[in-house]
Amino acid sequence: MSAATPDESGARRALRWAILGVDRVTDLLALSLLVFLVLSIAWQVFSRYGLGSTPRWTSETALVLIGWVGFLGIAIGIRERSHVAISFVVDRFPAGLRAAAERLAPLLMLLFGGYLLVQGWEFTVQMMGVTLPSTGLPRSVQYGAMPVSGVLVLLYSFLQLAGLNTAREIGAAGEDHGDAGTTGGNEEGSV
């Protein structure tokens, strides 16, 4: 029995590192796209009012970037459990029903993630031959945010259904995952 314990902790550690890697890439991508979005809009405003001419690519770029930031934000919100919830109703439920409702939420998000993945993939494939007029990028770049977000929503919802804490902020209901080298807290169910 003692031989299985190190394997389980090694597998759990590998899972934690893999998920932290996905988290960091997601956060970095969302933050980078948000910075490019702000710079694009700032350039658009400056060139309109400062130079008297608005570049055509800025509006189109901003629309693509806001879609990506929004869909990545959905996945991050589900990971952090900061999504919209109607807690004032659920808080009035008896304890058993409240627990069932808390288990139902990740299941509904899992279904939503599946929808984003399937429908987003279909939209992305359909738009591969269509180009955006100002940038010349394939329109599939714009719709690609949906299936990417769908995969992330599926991942985080599945982990939550398995009883694992996916929140990454310090002071959240789990350990601090800001530094993968630290052990942080010891709450059961944390990844």
> CA torsion, points 173, 78, 109, 146, in degrees to nearest 10?
-160
pLDDT at position 172, please?
A: 43
Amino acid at 99: A
The whole-number pLDDT of residue 7 equals 56
Q: Quote the CA–CA distance of 28 and 48 in Å, as a whole number.
A: 30
Question: Helix, strand or coil for residue 147?
Answer: helix
d(CA 21, CA 180): 9
For residue range 80-95, list pLDDT tens digits in order.
887 666 677 777 888 8
Residue type, 172: A
Is the pTM above the cut of 0.95? no
Residue pLDDT, tens place only, 8-28: 677 778 888 888 889 999 999
- Domains of the chain, by residue range, sit at 4-161
Number of H helices, E strands in the chain: 6, 0
Tell me the one-letter amino acid at 21: G
Q: Are 154 and 114 in contact (CB under 8 A)?
A: yes
